[in-house]
Homo-oligomer: A and B are copies of this chain.
Amino acid sequence: MTLPTILDRCETQGLRLTGPRRVIAQVLEDASDHPDVETIHARAAEQDPSISVATVYRTVKLFEESGILERREFGDGRARYEDAEREHHDHLIDLQTGEVIEFVDPEIEALQEKIAERLGYDLKGHRLELFAVRRK
């Protein structure tokens, strides 16, 4: 069973499948990194130079609100996006180099419930995001 593509999920959500949206969806489908809007726009523009940055902003916001993408803030002032349906993982971010390392740690996963419980905090539908920040 293959996971549904971003485009599939756009259809499921009943989103209008415009030219720009198809291109942006494909760009994100192909991305193995965590592109920011400028990067997404650059890649989309390779397919269709008429796509504007404003549309990229509007589209990633729409996709995020539809649960298709997840927005990440890595501390460098711009938002980055990645497919929300990818298997869960955490991030190690080096603020000096901008390097982002993905990882999954079973013990950390197991700690999520425990921590929430200890704090009396309802984690339902939430996620723990782990950051290792190399400060200056």
Interface residues of A (CB under 8 A from B): 65, 70-71, 73-75, 92, 101, 103, 105, 107-108, 111-112, 114-116, 118-119, 121, 123, 125-136
- Inter-chain contacts of A114 with B (CB < 8 A): 105, 107
Count this chain's copies in the assembly: 2
Contacts of A115 in B (CB 8 A): 92, 103, 105, 108, 132
Further 17 A-B residue pairs, CB within 8 A, beyond A107-B111, A126-B135: A65-B136, A71-B75, A73-B73, A73-B75, A92-B115, A92-B121, A101-B119, A101-B121, A103-B115, A103-B118, A103-B119, A105-B114, A127-B132, A127-B135, A128-B132, A129-B131, A129-B132
Nearest Cβ on chain B to A88's Cβ, whole angstroms: 13
Q: Which residue of B lies closest to A107 (CB)?
A: B111
Bound together, the chains give a CA A85 to CA B119 distance in angstroms of 24
